[in-house]
Amino acid sequence: MALFEAIILSVLAASTPLLIAAIGELVTERAGVLNLGVEGMMIMGAACGFGGAWLSGSVIVGALCGIVAGTLMSLIFALMTLGLAVNQVATGLALTILGIGLSGLIGAGFVGERITPAPHLYIPGLTDIPFAGRILFGEDGFIYLSLALVIGVWLFLYRTQAGLILRAAGDNHVSAHALGYPVLRIRMFAVMFGGACAGLAGAYLPLAYTPFFIPGMTAGRGWIALALVVFASWRPGRLVIGAYLFGAVTILQLHTQALGLGIPSQFMSALPYLATVIVLVLISRARTGGSTAPAALGTVFVPDR
């Protein structure tokens, strides 16, 4: 039982950065922008988040630093792809390379330092309930925040006028423009939200997951978050399922190695991507019509004035 509880706790912790980064990217992509720089924005969030927390001694300040770093990175992306109409794929890849290098430089001074990680919730009585208590009422704040974010995004996209306009901009930017909506401004905000989430997701790693910073510690989680958005077919609800599934695979990978089952760890690391490919095939086979991806995804828009 204790082992099972430990596994669930570690799955939740491993899934949360994926969920936070992916929900941000989902909003960005729903507005029609494909930002492949998630990995770069995350690692910047990790470096700046750790730096902030280490210098101030506060996890919250660290998290805010991570958010700011991710947002600033996304603004570079927005300037290039929205302002200057540069190709989104190339810019996103460049952003990742930039983020990995820059975060190594910024974080060089903190390598080897430790901080006190984010505290876990403790409600006397509730948290003490065996098994379920720790899992439901004993997590760190980030985990609750990530679920609140998903619910908030769902409400925004499907229950508000602004969310409808954002989806419209991602479906057909020419029409949205013709109706008088500021497509580029909408997309800029969506990109910034994506950046903020990626930064927060990155900051989660040194602030809650492991209490220290090492260069490249995101270790491909940004790419998994990107795959996750496709896996979830751009829907927030499915994103939660996908995130916990992908998180579980990550943990499973560690346990199979420990148990010496002889499954190569490389195969396990490849599983999330394999699952995404399979889901893509299933979606396109099952689809009766309409498109699941935002129709304008990845296309450059230049308004004529």
Partner 1 sequence: MLDPTPTGLHSGGTPLLQTVGLTKRYGNFLANEAIDIDIWPQQIHALLGENGAGKSTLVKTIYGLIQPSEGEMRWQGEKMVLSGPSEARARGIGMVFQHFSLFDNLTVAENVALGLDGKESFKDMSARLEEVSNVYGLPLDPKREVWQLSVGERQRIEIVRVLMQNPKFLILDEPTAVLTPQEADQLFIVLDRLKAEGRAILYISHKLEEVKRLCDTATILRGGKKVSTCNPQQETAASLARMMVGADIKEVKAAAGRKTTVPRLVVNDLNMEPDDPHGVRLANISLELKGGEILGIAGVAGNGQDELFAALSGERQCPDPGTIVIDGHAAGHLSITLRRKLGAAFVPEERLGHGTAPRMKLSENALLTGHAASGMVQHGFVNTAATLSTVDRATETFDVRKAKRDPEAASLSGGNLQKFIVGREILRNPAVLVVSQPTWGVDAGAAAVIRQALLDLAASGAAVLVTSQDLDELAEITDRIAVMFHGHLSQPMATAEATREKLGLLMGGSSLEQKEAPHAVSA
Stretch that binds partner 1, among 168-176, 188-196, 201-209, 270-278 (CB under 8 A): 168-176
Min separation Cβ 84 and partner 1, Å? 20
Beta bridge mates, 140:
120
Helix (H) or strand (E) holding 235: none
Q: Does 289 sit near partner 1 (CB under 8 A)? A: yes
Identify the CA nearest to 203 among candidates 152, 140, 255, 151: 140
- Decide: is 291 part of the binding site for partner 1 (CB under 8 A): yes
CB of 34 to partner 1, least distance (A): 17
Out of 35, 140, 171, 193, the only residue in the binding site for partner 1 (CB under 8 A) is: 171
Q: What's the distance, CA 304 to chain centroid?
A: 34
DSSP helix/strand/coil, 9: helix
The Cα-based distances of 196 to 7, 24, 274 in angstroms read 29, 7, 28
Of residues 167 and 238, the one with the C-beta less far from partner 1: 167
Q: Which is nearer to partner 1, 255 or 287 (CB)?
A: 287
Q: How many CA atoms lie within 13 A of 255 on its CB side?
A: 13
As a whole number of Å, the CA-based R_g of the chain is 19
When asked if residue 286 is in the footprint of partner 1 (CB under 8 A), the reply is no
Q: Is 44 in the site for partner 1 (CB under 8 A)?
A: no
**Contact (Cβ atoms closer than 8 angstroms) between residue 66 and residue 46:** yes
Quick one: which of 172, 233, 257, 269 contacts partner 1 (CB under 8 A)?
172
Q: Which of 117/163 has CB closer to partner 1? A: 163
Residue 154 within binding range of partner 1, rule CB under 8 A: no
Establish if 302 lies at the interface with partner 1 (CB under 8 A): no
Cβ proximity to partner 1: between 117 and 182 the closer is 182
Tokens 């996750």 — which residue? 228
Give Cα 273 distance to the centre of its chain.
15
What is the Cα–Cα distance from 156 to 21, expressed in whole angstroms?
A: 17
Residue 98: which of 37, 10, 171, 168 has the closest Cα? 37
Interacting span for partner 1 (CB under 8 A) from 35-43, 85-93, 147-155, 177-185: 177-185
The nearer residue to partner 1, 179 or 277, going by C-beta atoms, is: 179
116 binds partner 1 (CB under 8 A): no
Of 58 and 292, CB closest to partner 1: 292
What distance lies between CA 299 and its chain's CA centroid?
Answer: 22
Q: Does 288 bind partner 1 (CB under 8 A)?
A: yes
Based on the shown chain and the rule CB under 8 A, indicate whether residue 168 belongs to the binding site for partner 1: yes
Query: Coil, strand, or helix at residue 120?
Result: strand
Number of residues that bind partner 1 (CB under 8 A): 24
Q: Interface with partner 1 by CB under 8 A: which range of 79-87, 220-228, 235-243, 286-294?
A: 286-294
Positions 178 through 207 that interact with partner 1 (CB under 8 A): 178-181
Separation between Cα atoms, residue 266 and residue 226, nearest integer Å? 19
Task: For residue 86, give Cα distances in angstroms to 35, 70, 97, 206.
Answer: 12, 20, 17, 33
Whichever of 265 and 291 has its CB closer to partner 1, that residue is: 291
For residue 228, give every residue at least 6 positions away whose Cβ sits within 8 Å of its Cβ, in sequence order, or none: 18, 22, 239, 242, 243, 246, 272, 276
Report the residue number, 266 or 288, with the smaller CB distance to partner 1: 288
What are the residues binding partner 1 (CB under 8 A)? 161, 164-165, 167-168, 171-172, 174-181, 287-291, 294-295, 304-305
